[in-house]
Amino acid sequence: MKISIGVIGLGSMAKAIILPLLERGEYEASNIFGIVGSSSSISSTLSDLPKGIRVVSSQDVLSKEVWSASVKLLAVKPQQLGEIKESVSTFQSNDQFPKPLLISILAGITLKSLQKAFPSHACVRAVPNTPSLVGEGVTGLSWGDDLTAGQKIAVRKIFDPVSKIYELPERQLDSFLALTSSGPAYIALVAEAMADGAVAAGLPRYLSTQLAHQTLSGTASLLREKALHPAQLKDMVSSPGGTTISALRHLELVGLRSALIEAIVLAAQKSRQLSEDASS
């Protein structure tokens, strides 16, 4: 069976990468082969995927076929890395792909650990984020040893249609992850809190939620397109003795700025801890 991409772990992040590629016609559904943890999860996994994608459980003997793919996306939980065993494959090498390519999106798992676990592969660490689902993602990439120029092109083709790519030294990936990969959760929490505040102030729920989302989206666009420093925009909105500066004063008193800073530092530390746990 010819496999274009073998996906080991078809969770939400893997789908955020695969679905836009299928929608844009970069790959055919029949060229995606996925593995999930158990047969009981196959039905739910397939429910929001296009017809034609083949999905089997890790216990299925057919799961070994994924190792024949020239490109594999490793997307299990970091704690499950030890359960993934490289199998003998029928992979055919060529000048572009002398070794099969393994792209890992596992938080905190280093290239050294990946290359130890998958010695016959050329490995890449990728840190994408969920806005890739709407073509607005960012992805950090760090290259392992032995990658050809053709393999690097293949990796970029996977992430470029759905995200802006940043090639970084591996030591920076934990911080990149803490900001960009975990970041949508922080923003979602802010959006929810802003909508709750508007409801408490008297707006209906449906309108509060819509306005919170549009305000966050519009603000991000304004900062980016006008190349504004966040402090500039904050000062533009804050008039002397006005409503905004009163609200900002309260946010400073309760430590919103510090809480967000510490959240990103803690997420980066957790990513590094996952790496240490995997290597011990």
Q: Average pLDDT by consecutive 10-residue portion of the chain (280 residues)?
A: 77 87 84 89 88 88 84 90 76 75 93 91 94 91 91 92 94 96 96 98 98 97 97 96 97 97 96 78
Interatomic CA distance for residues 166 and 158, integer angstroms: 14
The count of other CB atoms within 10 Å of the CB of residue 170 is 16
> What secondary structure letter does DSSP report for 127?
E
If we measure between CA atoms, which residue out of 205, 203, 193, 204 comes closest to residue 247? Answer: 193
Ordered structural domains, the chain, with CATH = 5-173 (3.40.50.720), 181-268 (1.10.3730.10)
Token output for 91: 């992979």
The answer to whether residues 167 and 159 touch, using CB atoms and an 8 Å cutoff, is no
Q: What is the pLDDT of residue 261?
A: 97
The pLDDT of residue 27 is: 84
> 227 burial class (0-12, 13-18, 19+ CB within 10 angstroms)?
exposed
Question: pTM of the prediction?
Answer: 0.89
Residues in Cβ contact with 104 at an 8 Å cutoff, skipping those fewer than 6 apart? 74, 114, 123, 124, 125, 126
* d(C-alpha 158, C-alpha 160), whole Å: 6
What's residue 90's pLDDT?
Answer: 67
Q: What is the pLDDT of residues 116-175, one digit of tens each?
A: 999 889 999 999 999 988 889 999 999 998 899 989 998 999 999 889 999 999 999 999
Q: Are 267 and 184 contacting, i.e. CB atoms less than 8 angstroms apart?
A: no
pLDDT on residue 26: 80
pLDDT at 86: 76
CA-to-CA distance for 131 and 125, rounded, in angstroms?
A: 19
CA–CA dist 204, 195 (Å, integer)? 9
User: What is the reported pLDDT for 134?
Assistant: 87
Start-to-end CA distance of the chain, whole Å, equals 37
Residues 6+ apart with CB under 8 A from 177: 107, 108, 127, 140, 267, 268, 271
Q: Which residues pair with 126 in a beta bridge?
A: 141
Question: Tell me, what's the pLDDT at 280?
Answer: 61
pLDDT at 167: 97
Q: CA 245 to CA 248: how far, in whole Å?
A: 5
The tokens for 201 are 């102030």
